Chain A
Amino acid sequence: MKAIIYLEDGKSFNAQSSMDTERLGEVIINTAVVGYQEMITDPANAGKILVLTYPLIGNYGIAAQFSESAKIWVSALAVKEKSRIYSHWQAKESLDTFLKKGATPIIYNLDTRSLTVYLRDNGPLVGIISTQEFETKKLADKINKFKKQPAKSLFPEVSVKKVKISSKIKGVTIAVLDLGLTQGLIKQLESLNFKLNIFPYYASGKEILAVKPKGLIISNGPENDPYLNTLAENISPLIGKLPILGVASGCQVLALALGAKLARLKFGHRGVNYPIARPGTFKGEITAQNHEYVIANNSLRKIKDLKVTAYNLNDHTIEEIESKKLKLIGVQYNPVTTGFCGVNEVLIKFSKLVKPAFRRAER
């Protein structure tokens, strides 16, 4: 059936949908060619209308082991063409079926390229997807109503309800503050032989220290959450007490705790092709990123012992901070890759902070 995606500034695009639906959310664009299953199940994308720039989606179907969490978090998925069949030996069901089970709409036959270019030039914007309402005035009203709602934290939804401990591992204990932890990060940390104590988002510094962790990881999760400042206050007593790694929005929490400020990008970094470079070297890395907020550069100046260790080569925003003295690392990019290709350098670095004798296992 006919569907529309209408943006808060009045711009709209036509599409089609196979189910009756109406969804609201910030419209975000991801430029990765593959990874639709991971993206829709990543809690960091909770509540967003996710647009994929790659036009052919669903080709390799869905396999349970690739989900980043137990459910679909996006508000809706918007694509150019969804594949009629899926073809892969690991796949167990189609993207369509998976979305249907998760009661998440997908709109297709959308000119995703034009929408992307529009958002690049005019974003970030909230949008509404509808198969019921096509009158622009009414759609605009709905968006206004949505925007007026008091900001609600997503952490209660995405975080664990109580402390969860990795069962099979006998290695060093580290604490993980779950702001929307993904399976990908869990797998990598466990492959480093860390025994994870996964804490709900509201855990206090005291509760965390009580399990005597050798390090703390603040996970990735939704950005710009109203609870962020509280989180920063919660963890600030831990700074200097144990090695901390903040990942993506976890990095933003860390930065806030250190007294830095955040800024919003006009067009978020969302894709798998972002170059980061280390100051004073020619060496960089291609990273996966999914963020629209960054640490404001000038807000770092007053913070002692903290260095920018990597910046985005395209727009020179901060992608990694480090304090050798306080044993802190914060990364805006996603240090996670699926598959056996193993562990990101930054996790190795963190491991060395946690257990100085750490040596990368032969893979």
Chain B
Amino acid sequence: MIGSGPIVIGQACEFDYSGSQACKALKEEGYYTILVNSNPATIMTDPGLANVTYIEPLNIEVLTKIIAKERPDAILPTLGGQTGLNLVFFLMQTGVLKKYGVESIGSSVEAIACAEDRELFKQAMQEIGVAMPKSGIATTLKAGMKIGLEMGFPLILRPAYCLGGNGGGIAYNQEELEILLTQGIETSPVHQVLVEQSVLGWKEIEFEVMRDCADNVIIVTSMENVDPMGVHTGDSIVVAPAQTLTPEEYNNFTFLCKKIIRKINISGGGANIQFAQNPDDGKIVIIEVNPRLSRSSALASKATGFPIARVATKLAVGLTLPEVMNQVTSKTTSFFEPTVDYCVFKICRFTFEKFPYAPRVLNTSMKAVGEAMSIGRNFKEALQKGMRSIEIKRFGFGADGEDKITDAELKNPEPLLLQEIKDKVRIPNDERLFYLRYALKAGLSIDEIYSLSRIDRWFLDNLKQLVELEEKIKEFRNAKEEDELKIPLELLAQAKVDGFSDHQIAFLLQTKEAKVRQLRKKSSLKAAYKLVDTCGGEFNAKRPYFYSTQETKDEARVSKNKKVVILGGGPNRIGQGIEFDYCCCHAAYALKEEGVDSIMVNCNPETVSTDYDTSDRLYFEPLTFEDIMNIIELEKPLGVIVQFGGQTPINLAVALRQAGVNILGTSSESIDIAEDRKRFKQLINKLGLLQPNSGTVFTFAEALKVAREIGYPVLVRPSYVLGGRAMEIVYEEDLLERFIKEAAEVSGEHPILIDKFLEDAIEVDVDLIGDGETFVIGGILEHIEQAGVHSGDAAMTLPTYTLSPDILKKIREASYSLAKELHIVGLMNIQYAVKDAKVYILEVNPRASRTVPLVSKVIGVPLAKLATKIMLGKSLKDLGFTEEVIPQYVAVKESVFPFNRFPGVDVMLGPEMKSTGEVMGIDLDFSSAYIKSQLAAGQKVPKKGNVFISVHDRDKRDVVFIAKKLKDLGFHLFASSGTASVLEKNNIPVKVLPKISEGRPNILDLMKDGKIQMVINTPSGRIPREDEVKIRSQVIIYNIPYTTTIFGAQATVNGIETYLKKDLGIKSLQEYHKIKTKKVK
């Protein structure tokens, strides 16, 4: 089995979900499974899931070695996203599969080619008479331009064998066409781009289809994109099932689906088929077929309860649909088309705020980093729950006190405002839903909004109903907050039916949320739970999951067992992703082992935690106080675990405790000490530890004072945030004001923190586990980049590679004294900076960190599982984990970044986290592990060729040695004039390139011509030079390996040396775990 590698935009943890299901399904059938995935944060790479687990780079070279060693009978390419599919295709092309007699199951190589190769696909569709938009295929810029200009604009470009619309886009003019063609041809691994006539504004409809080797076909579900064609389906708001199709259209679609899956000849698996339909005459064209498990199939699985990945795997090994039981009903087989009696809503999480220079628009190249799914008995309820689920601090469809444009402004909108609203409704963007509300409030008609947005009138009318209801509720607004509520109960009930949260109702009535909650409870307007059972209630399902709604009968199945609620992490975002889902799943597994019922609450459809069989009961719900309390009041668990879902549940801990909920593990008091800067400072002083000088401020004037006292550079950051949001290093006073303002926006009512920034310090991450008395370090990870790069973005190594025993001793002592003082029960993460032989504490997180899965896998100890058992009362001694494990091999974590999705964005790293995912390189020595991590992260590490070097003054000493080594390894060097003069003085021959504005050929020309194989460019300061930005954004377009830190460059060059001198070996995780480890008490 091939996994999908690191989390990137377009390929997220849905493939961990499908891969884990596949591992389990294969095990059930008695197969010996060998798994390869470079992503250490996944559940699938847990050593127990497959028989043999390789965490190695996903490339042909490595896979060939693994195939040669393990000699599998078959390879399953359909569970690993586009990555898995492409790898198998290239393994076939290079003859590896044939040489070792490996059969591709699930999707034959021919089927993959037929669906992915634009030419073959077009031909196949023509043969079965399925219409396609007019298109031409280009492999060169010239040919593409010709096709495009003949067809006319706008045009859609789709590179072959690409993921999430990567490298594609919409071209409205000749210039854009040229850019997109260049990019597309480069991005496509076969250098092929489809130039397609646009069907912008048509309905986008998708189907999940499965077929077995006996030619049985089922349609799992339909899905309708609320955003019409032009927005990538991964970015669109999606509903399931489709809401605006007639039975005739449904049948036409399913007929085409069957024809297509037969033609492409998927004979044991599933496919996702996307169509566009003209809303004016019903004409259908096919857009795309994915002959594999996909993000949509994960969504379809969670939306219907039908485990597509599990079934697909069983079909791949030759079972038929009637032979595979439906475990949710346990009364039907998988040869049964699921039906639903609810509406499913999917909405995406974007992170444009992380990339302020990227245009905030949506198009055919996917930009979302995560998604949430919500379920309601009507569209309105599902939508409001969805808006709460994506955790953008909104509590529904506006009307929650967070609206950018006020009702007063919308009453008689200024022409300028009206224009803004119209533009935001017309051009797809991440805030469009809110602007639709503004448009309705500003009095635009449904027809007008339709003609701007082409969003179906049915959806628009539902939005309008919400706006009308909001107005009705507002009529009962209190004059003063203390007043009694006047809202009639029927209206309150209606508001709940249509998904209004207590928070929204409280805002509209000008009262407190608690008061609304009280009134509801008094009037028995309580949430009822209904089932996702695959069959619309026709069978009494054995293993359903639950969603809340407002109905007469509660179908919840509360058990009398001991039980614990696990709060999940919600939608993936930068800073909070699969790592936390891994921990939540482990909590569920641990509870099972301890005989305690696990109750999972989460709303992320991509995850393993929301799989029907991960927990005893799954509530598919938003993670807000109201929604969680409803479940807690119903289930009455003995406690709630908030440590594992990342920052989301931690932020709720205090409110939950105040409501009388028992927080398991580290007390919420300790959580507060760790999160509250002032209290934390006191703690540090008490323990006699070091912290960079710092201050807490609310205003700019205070900030100015504090910064002067501390001395520049300073680190400015808001409190209570995730992933270093709005965090900046400020070198001079001139820039302070701007960053304070940004931080204040994010921080809200919480203070802003100003810390002394320790330049050139080494950062260290420690993961620790404790039972309140005994504390054990899980791992000490040393950052490779210098301080200032967010720990989520930095490359790290376990064990450490440059720290002296003395420093390590200091780190251990500090860690244990902090853990003891905070009475850590469960997991804790501490970040240190080491400078001038001093150890400074930067941050303490009293929760599972991003590195827990990696550390667990490297040391072979399931930390999250142990932590859960501790929370239930076990001690570390009981669990047999009392000594820190120092592995005798090296693991390097490297991050991957979404820069290719945000054209023009600077790739330099800073204190604000930008990476979406991670990979791990593991080997017996550091350089091999490091180079593996670079390969796994997708860097085309060169073995020869030209390297361009241009570094900041302070790096010029260090770069000499790097350059020297590169020269010795046979590389040719190019440099900017400043860097070149330093190198020349050191007798290193180098070619000087002119500044971009001063002459040609310059570095951009060389990159364009493919003459540069690697770029080393460290930024010259916070406000980078224009040239640097151009260079760094161009490395993304041409996919040239680059490093932006001097330490990264050192490690890379050492790695290249290793890479040149010896063949990189492969070893499974299970083999590593057999190597004897060193232990430290």
Contact = CB atoms under 8 A, between A and B. Distances in A.
Partners in one complex: yes
B244 interface: yes
B248 A314 contact: no
A338 B252 CA distance: 8
Contacts of A120: 537-540
B536 A116 contact: yes
Contact of B336 (A35, A314, A341): A314
B629 to A, nearest CB: 23
Contacts of B245: 34, 60
Contacts of A271: 339, 536, 538
Interface stretch (A80-88, A97-105, A174-182, A214-222): A80-88
12 contacts: A33-B241, A34-B245, A85-B461, A116-B537, A273-B339, A282-B323, A284-B321, A313-B322, A313-B332, A313-B333, A340-B255, A341-B251
A59 B378 CA distance: 12
A53 B341 contact: yes
Nearest to A109: B497
Contacts of A282: 212, 214, 216, 320, 322-323
Contacts of B458: 59, 83, 85-87
Interface string A80-123: 11011111111000000000000000000101111011001100
A273 B336 contact: yes
A255 to B, nearest CB: 25
A191 interface: no
B252 A339 contact: yes
Q: For B217, B250, B461, B535, which residue has the most chain A Cβ atoms within 10 angstroms?
A: B250
Interface in A308-363: 313-314, 337-342
B341 A89 contact: no
B537 A53 contact: yes
Interface in B423-470: 446, 456-458, 461, 465
Contact of B322 (A14, A81, A275): A275
Interface stretch (B168-176, B279-287, B787-795): B279-287
A54 B536 contact: yes
A314 B539 CA distance: 10
A6 to B, nearest CB: 14
B430 to A, nearest CB: 25
Q: For B212, B341, B465, B553, which residue has the most chain A Cβ atoms within 10 angstroms?
A: B341
B300 to A, nearest CB: 14
A83 B446 CA distance: 15
Interface in B248-287: 248-252, 254-255, 279-282
A341 B252 contact: yes
Interface of B: 212, 214-219, 241, 243-252, 254-255, 279-282, 320-323, 331-333, 335-343, 377-379, 446, 456-458, 461, 465, 497, 530, 535-540, 551-553, 555
B251 A339 contact: yes
Contacts of B250: 33-34, 339
Contacts of A83: 458, 461
Contact of B218 (A63, A66, A286): A286
A84 B465 contact: yes
A342 B256 CA distance: 12
Given A32-B339, A55-B343, A80 B378 contact: yes
Contact of B536 (A38, A53, A114, A277): A53
A31 interface: yes
A338 B552 contact: no
A276 to B, nearest CB: 9
Interface residues of A, number: 57
A81 B551 CA distance: 12
A174 to B, nearest CB: 25
A338 B218 contact: no
B935 to A, nearest CB: 44
A31 B446 CA distance: 31
Given A55-B377, A56-B378, A59-B243, A283 B551 contact: no
B248 A275 contact: no
Contacts of B555: 113-114, 117
A111 B342 CA distance: 12
A111 B246 contact: no
Top 9 A-B pairs ranked by shortest CB distance?
A: A341-B255, A282-B214, A273-B337, A339-B251, A114-B553, A87-B458, A31-B536, A53-B536, A339-B248
Contacts of A29: 538
Contact of B341 (A55, A285, A338, A340): A55
B492 to A, nearest CB: 15
Contacts of A284: 216, 321-322, 335
Contacts of B465: 84
A213 B485 CA distance: 75
Interface in A43-88: 53-56, 59-60, 63, 66, 80-81, 83-88
Contacts of B333: 275, 313-314
A185 interface: no
A272 interface: yes
A81 B338 CA distance: 21
Nearest to A271: B339
Contacts of B246: 34, 60, 63, 66, 88, 90
A281 interface: yes
B280 A89 contact: yes
B565 to A, nearest CB: 25
B663 to A, nearest CB: 34
B336 A275 contact: yes
Given A33-B241, A63-B246, 19 more contacts: A13-B552, A31-B538, A33-B250, A34-B250, A55-B377, A56-B243, A60-B244, A80-B378, A88-B244, A109-B497, A112-B341, A113-B341, A272-B339, A273-B338, A282-B322, A284-B335, A313-B333, A314-B539, A339-B248
Contacts of A146: none
A166 B1017 CA distance: 81
A117 B540 CA distance: 8
A239 B686 CA distance: 99
A90 B241 CA distance: 20
A175 B890 CA distance: 81
Contacts of A14: 552
A114 B538 contact: no
B255 A339 contact: yes
A267 B538 contact: yes
Given A89-B281, A271-B538, A284-B216, A338 B248 contact: yes
Given A53-B341, A60-B246, A84-B461, A114 B552 contact: yes
Contacts of A114: 551-553, 555
A314 B457 contact: no
A313 B497 CA distance: 37
B377 A80 contact: yes
Interface in A1-54: 13-14, 29, 31-35, 38, 53-54
A337 B244 contact: no
A104 to B, nearest CB: 19
A274 to B, nearest CB: 8
A314 B331 contact: yes
Interface in A219-246: none
Contacts of A32: 339
Nearest to A36: B247
A90 B343 CA distance: 24
A30 to B, nearest CB: 9
A314 B216 contact: no
A48 B552 CA distance: 24
B342 A89 contact: no
Contacts of A89: 279-282
Contacts of B248: 66, 338-339
Given A84-B461, A283-B216, A55 B255 contact: no
A88 to B, nearest CB: 6
Q: For B458, B535, B552, which residue has the most chain A Cβ atoms within 10 angstroms?
A: B458
Contacts of B252: 339-341
B1044 to A, nearest CB: 51
Q: For B279, B323, B551, which residue has the most chain A Cβ atoms within 10 angstroms?
A: B551
A277 B212 CA distance: 14
B531 to A, nearest CB: 8
